[in-house]
């Protein structure tokens, strides 16, 4: 379950930011997760609750924001949204797409006290 190590990385960032900015508690943490990031959201939610115990984010609400998959189509030269890495271009039907987004996993922001 790599979601546990993802949660541990998030905890490390929370602790670093708490030290740097002097906050004591995180009430909400928002994550942006790309469609192709390979994250099992229920598993990450569980891991987050477990890993954040004893940290400023203990009891924080985790909000996960879905980001679409994007690709550049070499046939029509447009950036398009795709549901799967192997989907054809929704604009022209071409099959020569290079993924340009959707594999992100980042903290968007935190609400802190």
Provide the whole-model pTM.
0.89
Annotated ligand binding at 95? The verdict is no
Annotated ligand binding at 76? The verdict is yes
Q: What is the pLDDT of residue 1?
A: 59
18 lies in which domain range?
Answer: 3-112
Any idea what the CATH number is for the domain that residue 17 is in? 3.30.2320.80
Q: What is the pLDDT of residue 24?
A: 98
Rounded to whole angstroms, how far apart are CA atoms 82 and 21? 38
Q: What is the pLDDT of residue 68?
A: 96
Annotated ligand binding at 92? The verdict is yes
Q: What is the pLDDT of residue 39?
A: 97
Domain count within the chain: 1
- For the chain, the average pLDDT equals 97
Annotated ligand binding at 89? The verdict is yes
Digit-coded pLDDT (tens) for 33-64: 999 999 999 999 999 999 999 999 999 999 99
**Which residues of the chain, if any, have pLDDT below 50?**
none
């Amino acid at each position: 379950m790599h979601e546990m190590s993802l949660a541990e990385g998030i905890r490390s960032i929370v602790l670093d930011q708490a030290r740097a900015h002097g906050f004591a508690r995180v009430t909400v943490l928002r994550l942006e997760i790309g469609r192709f990031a390979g994250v099992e959201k229920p598993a990450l939610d569980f891991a987050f609750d477990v890993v954040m115990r004893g940290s400023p984010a203990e009891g924080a609400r985790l909000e996960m924001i879905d980001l679409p998959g994007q690709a550049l189509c070499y046939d029509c030269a447009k950036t398009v949204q795709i549901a799967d890495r192997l989907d054809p271009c929704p604009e022209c039907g071409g099959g020569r797409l290079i993924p340009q987004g959707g594999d992100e996993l980042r903290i968007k922001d935190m609400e802190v006290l």
